[in-house]
Amino acid sequence: MENVSPLPCVLIKEPLALSELRSVYLFFRIWNLYQSTFLQSAIFVGLSLVAGEFQGFAQDALSPSSKQRPNVLWITAEDMSRTLGCYGDSFATTPSIDQLASESARFTHAFATSPVCSPSRACLINGCMAPSQGAHAMRSQIPIPAAMNGFPTLLRKVGYYTTNNVKTDYNSGAEGIITESAWDECSEQADWEGRKEDQPFFAVMNLMESHQSRSMVWPYQKFQEEVQSHLSASEIHEPALVPLPPYYPDTPLVRKTVARYYDCVTRMDQRVGEILAKLKADGLYDETIIFFYSDHGSGMPRHKRALLDSGMRVPLLIRIPEQFQGMTRSVAIKGDVDRLVCFEDFGPTVLSLAGFDALPAHMTGRPFLGPLDAPARQQVFGHRDRVDEIMDMARSVRSKEFLYIRNYMPHLGYNQQGAWIDQADVRGEFYALADSGKASPAQNQYLSETRSPEELYNCIEDPLNLNNLAYSLQHEAIVTRMREQLQHHMIESRDLGLVPEIELWRHARVMPPMQWKSTKEFDPERVLAAAELVGSDDFESIAEKLVDGDPAVRYWGAVACSASDALPKSVGMQLRKMFEDPSKAVAIEAASAVARHTADAAALQALVRWFADDDRTIVLHAARAIELIADPRTKDSVRRLATRYQDEPGDLAWFIRFSTNGYLSRQN
């Protein structure tokens, strides 16, 4: 018995709860790894046997329970806010979803992590937020570590049949690898039918019927043919009766478009009914845990692409059949659930339901069902970055009561020009209202060419997020607390959105940014300190950042100059020297800042020259800067760029066309 650590003493005063038993078991398990006495091993085995009665705690890490594992079905609606009867919208026609809600837990505080689809899906498939992966910019092809091949891969390895119908959109260079690794079948026909007898399944059904293309962008005739034709006369929504939010202009076209959106939701509800009917016909309804949610807010203006609740707060229904109701401890089986959850948590929750004892190291979400049920969140975080050609960066933190948003590019408003969304006729109504000078305060919040650097909303008293409290002395303590929570999260997660996209790609050519961010080369605290100068007039500190050795710090110094109301002459001179900065991201932002403030021809030429670069990320950023400055002297250069890219394949080429065509259409 020499050299043996003494047996730990545990005093148990009363019967242990399941979570406490698990903690004691895990403690002895770890301790046992380093000990070898018969007594210690006997205690370990005894606890293993007891703990094994509770969802397979005695299994190895990342090994599922031997208990019966539930089927799990995700039904994902595209571009839809909580415009459902079961969430109190009396104008919605959603009988199938309302019936599902009557049998389900209805989450009242569920949130996307991004107000656009592909960064949201990057989060959903890997259980961690997109900025921690480097997959935060829309349609990113950024490389990610090989181990991050989608959580359904783990389900496949333990016997699940996994399918996806049909959208992938995982927003990284690993999309093909994830698709092949995660899914037994990924197609328009994919569901649970191909599984073996008694094989559990995980299936994702992506519904496009409510997507922005259908609700707003398609020509109206195509919408009628593809969507409205499936509805009866009583299911078609009357434009004169639509409930308009106060931030919308009340015009016939706006009403027609909002009614069209509700028609799309009704058609989506029909599809949900069809899926559930098939599940019942196959005898699987009471063997399947069903999630219904949307990937972010609706595709309507001020919803998609905005970190406001209209873009981030989503419906979430979870139906748990009777035989699996022992898998929930902190969530009600039916009725309202006010627990804060976000997309970061969904994948970890499915692994927990499948009986896994631990999560992969990269997963940062918190399971909220199953044996791995984690303590409830006190806040959820959100991010907004480049969407198509529209440049932006904002971050948010949301508690049950308050929403705080930090806009790191406040000189760019919510209603930025965008070639894809501007195909919708209704967008003209918003531009016309902005040009009229007659917008109400609620409308102007969205239509203004700029935003406040900070926003704070009391979401209980102000559910539409109309009254910005960030500069109210009464709310100063709340702003300070939530600002610090957000900053801590960005530093702790090593938010890669702090690194300009051009620089991020430079690092990605050496290693995946998610690995690079852990090197000494990236100091998120220093970079964030520079970004926090955006919106201030502390030009002494800004000037210091412009000569920093870190290109990301210099970049944020230049952004702070772009966002300022006026530039001191000395800072303007400093920016001109940066037109030749070794970092092309810095050079572009410095030239953009000077051009925005002075319309200087040299600054415009410093931007146009990047049109000839072979790196499409560089071309896109320069093209968008020129588009927003909209100086007619650059028209010929933009026209040549449009010609060069008119037939080029790929998403970035597509976005360059968006930018050049948007510029040229407004110059004509």
Q: Tell me the C-alpha distance between 499 and 522, whole Å.
A: 9
Q: Tell me the C-alpha distance between 301 and 127, whole Å.
A: 29
Residue % of the chain over a pLDDT of 70: 90
Q: Which residues contact 43 (CB under 8 A, 6 or more apart)?
A: 7, 28, 32
Q: Tell me the C-alpha distance between 629 and 655, whole Å.
A: 17
Of how many residues is the chain composed? 668
- pLDDT for res 81: 97
Give the mean pLDDT of 329-356.
95
Q: Which of 105-114, 324-333, 554-563, 610-619 has the lowest mean pLDDT?
A: 324-333
The more confident residue out of 128 and 64 is 128
For 31, half-sphere exposure in the C-beta direction (CA atoms, 13 angstrom radius) is 22
Residue % of the chain over a pLDDT of 90: 88
- pLDDT for res 330: 80
Helix (H) or strand (E) holding 163: strand 161-165
Radius of gyration of the chain from its Cα atoms, rounded to whole angstroms: 26
For residue 164 the two structure tokens come to 């996806």
pTM summary value? 0.90
Q: Which residues contact 367 (CB under 8 A, 6 or more apart)?
A: 345, 348, 349, 351, 352, 359, 373, 374
Residue 584, SS3? helix
Omega before residue 571 within 30° of 0, cis: no
Give the mean pLDDT of 270-288.
98
Which DSSP string corresponds to 382-412?
A: EEE--BTTB---EEEEE-SSEEEEEES-TTS
- List Cβ<8 Å contacts ≥24 apart for 518-526: 518/494, 522/494, 523/550, 524/490, 524/491, 524/494, 524/495, 524/498, 525/491, 526/550, 526/553
For the chain, the structural domain boundaries read 1-54, 71-378, 394-478, 486-667
Residue 144, SS3? coil
pLDDT beyond 90 at 591 = yes
- pLDDT for res 152: 98
- What are the beta bridge partners of residue 384? 394
Helix (H) or strand (E) holding 137: none
- Binned at pLDDT 50, 70 and 90, residue 67 comes out as low
Q: Tens of pLDDT along 460-482?
A: 999 999 999 999 999 999 999 99
How many CB atoms neighbour CB 582 within 10 A? 9
Torsion-angle region of 169 (φ positive above 0: left; ψ -120 to 50: alpha; else: beta): left
Answer whether 126's CB lies under 8 Å from 363's CB: yes
- Binned at pLDDT 50, 70 and 90, residue 58 comes out as very low
Give per-residue burial for 329-366: e unless 16+ CB within 10 Å, then b. eebebeeebebbbbbbbbbbbbbbbbbbbebbebbbbb
Which DSSP string corresponds to 585-626?
A: HHHHHHHHHHHHHH--HHHHHHHHGGGG-S-HHHHHHHHHHH
Helix (H), strand (E), coil (C) string for 264-277: HHHHHHHHHHHHHH
- What are the beta bridge partners of residue 293? 76, 316
- pLDDT for res 64: 53
461 to 300, 468, 469: CA distances (angstroms): 23, 12, 12
For 442, half-sphere exposure in the C-beta direction (CA atoms, 13 angstrom radius) is 12
Q: Is the C-alpha dihedral spanning 307, 310, 311, 315 positive or negative? A: positive
Fold classification of 71-378 is Alkaline Phosphatase, subunit A (3.40.720)
Residue 160, SS3? coil
- Binned at pLDDT 50, 70 and 90, residue 331 comes out as confident
Q: Tens of pLDDT along 432-446?
A: 999 999 999 999 999
Mode of pairing for the β-strands spanning 335-337 and 71-77 = unpaired
Q: Which residues contact 418 (CB under 8 A, 6 or more apart)?
A: 387, 388, 389, 390, 658, 662
Strands (E), 490-607: none
- pLDDT for res 666: 84
Environment class of residue 388 by beta-carbon count within 10 Å: exposed (0-12), middle (13-18) or buried (19+)? Answer: buried
Answer whether 491's CB lies under 8 Å from 525's CB: yes
Q: Tell me the C-alpha distance between 103 and 320, whole Å.
A: 8
Helix (H) or strand (E) holding 577: helix 569-577
- Binned at pLDDT 50, 70 and 90, residue 667 comes out as confident
Answer whether 600's CB lies under 8 Å from 571's CB: no
Q: Tens of pLDDT along 166-175?
A: 999 999 999 9
Mode of pairing for the β-strands spanning 313-319 and 201-207 = unpaired
For residue 179 the two structure tokens come to 């698709």
In degrees rounded to 5, what are phi and psi of residue 106?
-110, 110
Strands (E), 184-241: 185-186, 201-207
Q: Tens of pLDDT along 373-418?
A: 999 999 999 999 999 999 999 999 999 999 999 999 999 999 999 9
238 to 93, 243, 258: CA distances (angstroms): 12, 10, 10
Q: Is the C-alpha dihedral spanning 643, 645, 649, 651 positive or negative? A: negative
- pLDDT for res 173: 96
The average confidence (pLDDT) of the chain is 91
pLDDT beyond 80 at 27 = no
Q: Torsion angle, CA of 430/434/436/441, rounded to 10 degrees? A: 110
- Binned at pLDDT 50, 70 and 90, residue 668 comes out as confident
Helix (H) or strand (E) holding 71: strand 71-77
Measured CA angle at 75 (ends 86, 149), to 5 deg: 140
| Closest C-alpha among 614, 616, 575, 617 to residue 592 | 575
Torsion-angle region of 179 (φ positive above 0: left; ψ -120 to 50: alpha; else: beta): alpha
CATH 1.25.10 is held by the domain 486-667 = yes
- What are the beta bridge partners of residue 107? 316, 337
Q: Which of 48-62, 135-149, 229-243 has the lowest mean pLDDT?
A: 48-62
Q: Which of 80-94, 322-336, 474-488 has the lowest mean pLDDT?
A: 322-336
Residue 176, SS3? helix
pLDDT beyond 90 at 351 = yes
How many CB atoms neighbour CB 632 within 10 A? 7
